Amino acid sequence: YDEILRIWDTRNLRQPISETHLAGGVWRLKWDPHHHKYLLAACMYGHFKIIDCNNKENPIIIADFKEHESIAYG
């Protein structure tokens, strides 16, 4: 794992559609079961982040949860 969220088109695995730097080491990713454009990322030392992936070429970090005191493993 590293600090980059990569979005892929499974029809072309040569290179990702986009790369978004999230910081802290991405440990776990989980799609929102009700709004499929949102992705939750547990970023170890980089907190929890919610990413809007509606535009897959340019995902946007819309929230960063820093209120906890431990490593974000998800």
Residues 37-66 pLDDT 10s: 999 999 998 899 999 999 999 999 999 998
Please give the Cα distance from 31 to 62 (Å, whole number). 14
Q: pLDDT above 70 covers what percent of the chain?
A: 100
Mean pLDDT over residues 19-34, rounded? 95
- C-beta atoms surrounding 5 within 10 Å: 21
Residue matched to tokens 């970090």: 61
C-alpha triplet 40, 41, 44: angle, nearest 5°: 145
Mean pLDDT to the nearest integer, 21-42: 95
Average pLDDT, the chain: 93
